[in-house]
C-alpha cells in the first residue's frame, strides 16, 4: 500500500489588499486587526476635510494577522487619494484578495463602488466589500443601492457586508469573506 501523501501544499501565507476611497477606514481596519503594530504611512493631511479626519495614507500600510498557528495573513492598505495612486501599483500582485472599503454615509457611494470596482476590473472574483459608517442603515438597503454596479461586475450581494473599521471582530469577519474567495478565476 502506498503511504498517504501529506497535505503540504496548503497555503500558509495570504495577502489581503485594503482598497477604497479616502476615509472609508482602511488604515483603521488594519490597526484594529493586526496582531503586531502595523507599519503605516498615515500622515497629517495638508487639507483637512471638516469631518475630523486629520491623516491620510500616502504610501502603503502593512499589518499581519495570524488567524491560526502557522497561517499568516498580510494586510496591505493602499491610499484612497488618487494623487498617491502610484503606491497602489505592485500591491495587487497575483493571488492577493481585495477587501474594498466603502462608506455607507457617502453621497458618492455608488460612484465610489463603480470607480473602485473599475480599478479591479477582470479581477472581481477576488473582491469582497466591507461597508463602514453604516449609521444603522440596514445591509439589505445598502445592497439594494449597490445592486446594479455589483451585477455589472458579477459580484454577488452576499459578498457585501457591514463592518465598522474600528471593531476587530467586524474586520475579522470581512477579511474572512475575502480569504474565502478563489485566487484564480474558476
Ligand atoms: N462612525 C464610524 N466611524 C468609522 C467607521 N469605520 C471607520 N471609522 C472612522 O473613520 C475614519 C477612517 O479613517 P482612515 O482609516 O484613516 O481611512 P482610510 O480609508 O485609511 O483613508 P485614506 O488613507 O485617506 O485613503 C477613522 O476616523 C475611523 O475611526 C464606522 O463604521 N463608523
Ligand atoms: Mg489610510
Q: How many domains does the chain have?
A: 1
The per-residue pLDDT for 181 is 87
Q: Which pLDDT score is estimated for 173?
A: 98
Which residues does the chain have with pLDDT short of 70?
1-11, 89-90, 92, 186
Range of the domain at 26: 13-179
184: in domain: no
Nearest to 184 by CA among 117, 111, 94: 94
What letter does residue 136 receive in the DSSP assignment?
A: T
Q: Report the distance separating Cα 141 and Cα 123, nearest Å.
A: 26
pTM of the predicted protein model? 0.92
pLDDT value of residue 184: 76
Measured on CA atoms in the order 66, 67, 71, 75, is the torsion positive or negative? negative
> What phi, psi does 83 have (nearest 5°)?
-70, -10
Residues with CB under 6 A from ligand 1: 22-28, 42, 53, 55-57, 79-81, 101, 132-133, 164-166
Q: Judge whether 152 lies within some domain.
A: yes
Report the DSSP pairing between strands 97-103 and 13-19: parallel
Closest C-alpha to ligand 1, atom 6: 165
Q: What CATH number is associated with residue 68? A: 3.40.50.300
Residue 125 lies in a domain: yes
What pLDDT sits at residue 118? 93
* pLDDT at residue 17, rounded to an integer: 96
Whole-number pLDDT of residue 12:
76
Amino acid at each position: 500500500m502506498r503511504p498517504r501523501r501529506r497535505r503540504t501544499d496548503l497555503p500558509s501565507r495570504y495577502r489581503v489588499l485594503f482598497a477604497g476611497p479616502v476615509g472609508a477606514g482602511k488604515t483603521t481596519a488594519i490597526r484594529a486587526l493586526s496582531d503586531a503594530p502595523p507599519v503605516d504611512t498615515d500622515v497629517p493631511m495638508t487639507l483637512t476635510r471638516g469631518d475630523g479626519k486629520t491623516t491620510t495614507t500616502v504610501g502603503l500600510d502593512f499589518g499581519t494577522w495570524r488567524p491560526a498557528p502557522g497561517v499568516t495573513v498580510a494586510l496591505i492598505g493602499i491610499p484612497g487619494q488618487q494623487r498617491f495612486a502610484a503606491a497602489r501599483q505592485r500591491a495587487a500582485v497575483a493571488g492577493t484578495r481585495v477587501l474594498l472599503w466603502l462608506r455607507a454615509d457617502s453621497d458618492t457611494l455608488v460612484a465610489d463602488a463603480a470607480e473602485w470596482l473599475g480599478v479591479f476590473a477582470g479581477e472581481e472574483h477576488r473582491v469582497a466589500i466591507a461597508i463602514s459608517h453604516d449609521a444603522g442603515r440596514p445591509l439589505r438597503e445598502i445592497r439594494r443601492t449597490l445592486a446594479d454596479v455589483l451585477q455589472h461586475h458579477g459580484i454577488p450581494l452576499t459578498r457585501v457586508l457591514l463592518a465598522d473599521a474600528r471593531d476587530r471582530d467586524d474586520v475579522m469577519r470581512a477579511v474572512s469573506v475575502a480569504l474565502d474567495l478563489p485566487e484564480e478565476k474558476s
